Amino acid sequence: MLARAKAAGGNMAERVLIIEDNEQNLKLARDLLQYHGYETLVARTAAEGVALAETGNPDLILLDDRLPDGDGLATLARLRGMDATAAVPVVAVTASAMSGDRERLLQAGFDGYLSKPLDSRAFPDQIRGFCRPGST
Ligand code: MN
């Protein structure tokens, strides 16, 4: 597997938790991440995502802002409230494209923002920047 080949270079592969209820969006994010050498964890509800975040030791969390059992801000608050995930970067993934949304999400405490549909060409650099803030 490509992920293993890259990880064998010395660094542990970084692990990204994708919390997303839309199967197509979930598959695209997972496939792109795996192609670029990341390990992935997936959850389709906020509850499942919070539980997996607490036990799965993710390095980064991609959080759909509209989930069947909660919105992004409520889910972010739960993640920030747990010792295991308080310091893990959380990136909002949203279809809303209104101006001001980025500032609103960053002010709310998200570490970053991705709009849907994901840009498969820009995605690797975006993810690298989120995993290692300040490195890009
Ligand atoms: Mn959704």
What is the 29 CA–ligand 1 centroid distance (Å)? 13
pLDDT for residue 6 is more than 60: no
Distance 96 CA to ligand 1 centre (A): 11
Quick check: is 136 in a domain? no
CA distance 80 to 3: 29
Question: What would the pLDDT profile of 83-135 be if each residue is shown by its tens digit?
Answer: 999 999 999 998 876 667 788 888 999 999 998 889 999 999 999 999 876 55
- Give bridge partners of residue 62 from the DSSP assignment: 18, 91
Ligand 1 centroid distance, CA of 53 (Å): 18
Number of domains in the chain: 1
Reported for 4-11, long-range contacts at CB under 8 A and 24+ positions apart, including other chains, are 5/37, 6/37, 7/37
CA 5–ligand 1 middle distance (angstroms)? 32
Residue 72 lies in a domain: yes
Q: Considering the domain boundaries, does residue 65 fall inside one?
A: yes
- One-letter amino acid at 2 equals L
Give the distance (Å) from ligand 1 centre to CA of residue 11: 32
pLDDT band at 1 (very low <50, low <70, confident <90, very high): very low
Span from the CA of 42 to the centroid of ligand 1 (angstroms): 13
pTM of the model: 0.87
43 domain-assigned: yes
End-to-end CA distance of the chain: 27
- Distance from Cα 84 to the centre of ligand 1, integer Å: 24
CATH number at residue 63: 3.40.50.2300
Could you tell me if residue 61 is inside a domain? yes
Q: Distance between CA atoms of 125 and 128, rounded to whole angstroms?
A: 5
Only one residue has tokens 């002010």, namely: 107
Any domain includes 135: no
pLDDT digits (tens, 9 = 90+) for 22-69: 999 999 999 999 999 999 999 999 999 999 999 999 999 999 999 999
Domain of 39? 2-130
Predicted confidence at residue 130, as pLDDT, reads 92
For residues 60 and 38, give the distance between their C-alpha atoms in angstroms, rounded to a whole number.
Answer: 10
